[in-house]
Amino acid sequence: MIHNELKDFPENFLWGASTSAYQVEGAWNEDGKGLSVMDVGNHPDDVTDFKVCSDHYHHYKEDIALMAEMGFKTYRFSIAWTRIIPEGTGDVNQKGIDFYNNLIDELLKHDIEPLVTMYHFDLPLALQKKGGWENRGTVDAFVNYAEVLFNEYGDRVKYWLTINEQNMMILHGNALGLLEGDPENVKKGLYQSNHHMLVAQSKVFDLCHQKVEDGKIGPAPNISTVYPASSKPEDILAANNYSAIRNWLYLDAAIFGRYNATAWSFMEEKGITPEIKEGDMEILKSGNPDFIAFNYYTSASVEGDFENQDKASNFNGDQQVVDNEAGLYRRYQNEYLEKTEFGWEIDPVGFRTTLREIYSRYNLPLIVTENGLGAYDKLEEEDTVNDDYRIKYLRKHIKQAQLAISDGVELFGFCPWSAIDLVSTHQGINKRYGFIYVNRDEFDLKDMRRIRKKSFYWYKDVIKSNGKKL
Ligand code: BGP
């Protein structure tokens, strides 16, 4: 649709940016923090671990001052479960509570709305040792943890996100290094874990409404539109299959409180349906989110060459995202899209389509909690970082967001990844995403000083003009 006149970004639009605890904080074993699965994960030899990261734990005041200088209306960060309840269940760690109290107060001092992810990949190791999410007990552990958070911070935090990218944890379970055993059982375990997460999430939606006055809560999956490789009917079917098991399985359960039929039949076909306890489906129905948060980096394309299952895929993007399913879909390289230095396809128009698809399916307000470009930034003379490629990427996506708003989508915030440089989930600190450069390398911590990138000044103008000056 071509609009003669575009709608403006709404007043009070939540411009901001995101981080997650295990990628930005560092201080991995300080002040009583317990170990999480991310602290003990395997790292390729050439990239750093998550022990120090950007040392945000000790620099948060300085970092928040820089966010305020950019004009942030919100900051999306995650709370490390292991700072609050080091063993996942049991004793609460007062020093962990204090840290986030200070961080939240610091944000409010600068009129920045806290947007809190309760769990961003960093499950307490103690829970993982007891079977992780496959163990039904983790549902209670999560609800208990959520209750502590609502009691401690609910007077000041009004926007909550339950689980970051649950769908990616299930689709790429191996990528987080949590899984052992033979692949078929691994899959069954993953879909059982998925069911437990859905139940836990639904209970926490409910609890938030009981405990937090004016509290709003939503899920935070990674959602993207799925293109068929061609107009061949089998390719269209493959796109439909992939969208069901990548996107709608998660959102249908969170919003409609039911399993998506195509996704369920896929699980039946593979013999990996989860055990559903009596009362679970009622729980899924009873907890309702107020909005949908989602992460978007790129679209996905698939083909459905069901007769030639063994044919190699032409897909040569980030290998971590290959999740072909025999008989359902095979990932496909979209020849119309440019790629980042790290091989991720760039698709701003797909962003608009994704926004429209989610909104027309669920009719809930939307907020984007991740979108951005990872690159090898270069620190140049006089402390400058000329990240024009990042500006170009974000500009195009923000333009598409405005088009989606003009299409009628109710979008109330945009939080790119990431507020400040941090350690990538698999590719170290030198895959940078931030508006603020952190002066360290993979293994040389240097002086960790904060440096405003070119995109910092650009984003400041975007926010100041409420998206008019791109
Ligand atoms: C998302 C995660 C983030 C972050 C981001 C960028 O999937 O929610 O935690 O890691 O992707 O990915 P990467 O770090 O692999 O470049």
Check pLDDT > 90 for residue 233. Answer: yes
Residue 374 CA: nearest ligand 1 atom is: 16
pLDDT higher than threshold 60 for residue 81 = yes
From ligand 1's centre to the CA of 295, what distance in Å? Answer: 9
Residue closest via CA to ligand 1's atom 3 equals 425
Question: Which two structure tokens, joined as six digits, stand for 54?
Answer: 């950007």
Of 373, 469, 364, nearest in space to 421 by CA: 373
List the CATH number of the domain containing 178.
3.20.20.80
Peptide bond between residue 455 and the one before it cis (omega within 30 degrees of 0)? no
pLDDT per residue as tens digits for the range 187-226? 899 999 999 999 999 999 999 999 999 999 999 999 999 9
Residue 266, domain member (yes or no): no
In a domain, 269, yes or no: no
The reply to whether 253 falls in a domain is no
- Picking from 298, 321, 300, 324, the residue whose alpha carbon sits closest to that of residue 313 is 324
Q: What is the pTM of this model?
A: 0.96
Q: What is the pLDDT of residue 173?
A: 79
Tell me if 231 is assigned to some domain.
no
Question: Can you tell me the distance from the alpha carbon of 412 to that of 349, in angstroms, rounded to the nearest whole number?
Answer: 19
Crossing angle, helix 56-70 and helix 454-464, to 10 degrees?
50
What SS3 string covers 348-403? HHHHHHHHHHHHHHHCCCEEEEECCCCECCCCEHHHECCCHHHHHHHHHHHHHHHH
Domain count, the chain: 1
Are 278 and 352 contacting, i.e. CB atoms less than 8 angstroms apart? no
Q: Name the residue of 370, 423, 429 whose CB sits within 8 Å of the most ligand 1 atoms, as the mutation to test its pocket.
A: 370
Q: What residue numbers bound the domain in which 455 lies? A: 14-226+290-296+342-464
In a domain, 330, yes or no: no
Write down the catalytic residue from 106, 234, 370, 382.
370
Region 373-398: mean pLDDT is 97
Residue-wise pLDDT for 38-71, tens only, equals 999 877 889 999 999 999 999 999 999 999 999 9
- Of all residues in the chain, the percent with pLDDT exceeding 90 is 90
Residue 325's pLDDT band (boundaries 50, 70, 90)? confident
Which pLDDT value is given to residue 321? 58
Q: Which residues line ligand 1 (CB under 6 A)?
A: 20, 23, 164-165, 168, 222, 295, 370, 374, 417, 424-427, 431
Res. 319: pLDDT tops 50: no
Indicate whether 131 belongs to any domain: yes
pLDDT in tens, 164-176: 999 999 998 766 5
Residue 326: predicted pLDDT = 82
Residue 185 pLDDT: 76
- Is the pLDDT at 366 greater than 60? The verdict is yes
d(CA 170, CA 269): 17
151, part of any domain = yes
Residue 324 lies in a domain: no
> CA–CA separation, 236 vs 421, rounded Å?
39
Q: Name the phi and psi angles at 33, rounded to 5.
A: -65, 135
Please tell me the predicted confidence (pLDDT) of residue 312.
67
Residue 291 has a CB neighbour count (10 Å cut-off) of 18
